[in-house]
Amino acid sequence: MKLTFALILALQVSVCVWAQDWPEPDKELVDKYTGLKEVFLKRLVNAWEKAKDAAQPMLEGSPTGDRAKEIFEEMRQSPRVESAVKIISGLASELDPIVDKARLALLGAYGHYLRPYIGEHLDTAITNIKPVLDTVMPQEG
């Protein structure tokens, strides 16, 4: 009941906020955002894989690792967990258009109101942090 109420309230608020007209983002800004997002997600996936590969040998022979594997298997086979995953997946797919519209509205607002003032500084900061991220969290393993 609480989840339903929260979802209805969130949808009502999102409809009210997004009912007004927001500036359209430039195609160049959307492409730049999409590229940066894809690279960042690749970095996260690669870092997760490296962390998992590093932790797996340590957990192989330990009693804690064996117990964690048992708990994970029990959770994975549980019908409740399967139902929760299906519900969350369904909600995520239903909310995709709303999230995309919100993202485009925020990019449009950023491009129209903030980019003229902070765009160069943000671009410089992103360019300067890329070498650090390439060292710490490379996008390809």
Going from the first residue of the chain to its last (141 residues), give the mean pLDDT of each consecutive group of 10, the final group possibly shorter. 68 59 90 95 92 81 80 86 88 88 92 94 95 90 64
pLDDT of residue 19: 57
Does the residue 70 lie in any domain? yes
What is d(CA 33, CA 24) in angstroms, rounded to the nearest whole number?
A: 14
Does the residue 84 lie in any domain? yes
**Number of C-beta neighbours around residue 40 at 10 A:** 13
Does the residue 77 lie in any domain? yes
Does the residue 88 lie in any domain? yes
Domain that holds residue 74: 63-92
109 Cα distance to chain centroid: 20
Does the residue 52 lie in any domain? no
Query: Distances from the Cα of 137 to the Cαs of 45, 132, 133, in angstroms?
Result: 10, 8, 5
What is d(CA 1, CA 11) in angstroms, rounded to the nearest whole number?
A: 15
Does the residue 136 lie in any domain? no
Does the residue 128 lie in any domain? no
Report field, pTM of the whole predicted structure over 0.75: no
How many domains does one find in the chain? 1
pLDDT of residue 7: 67
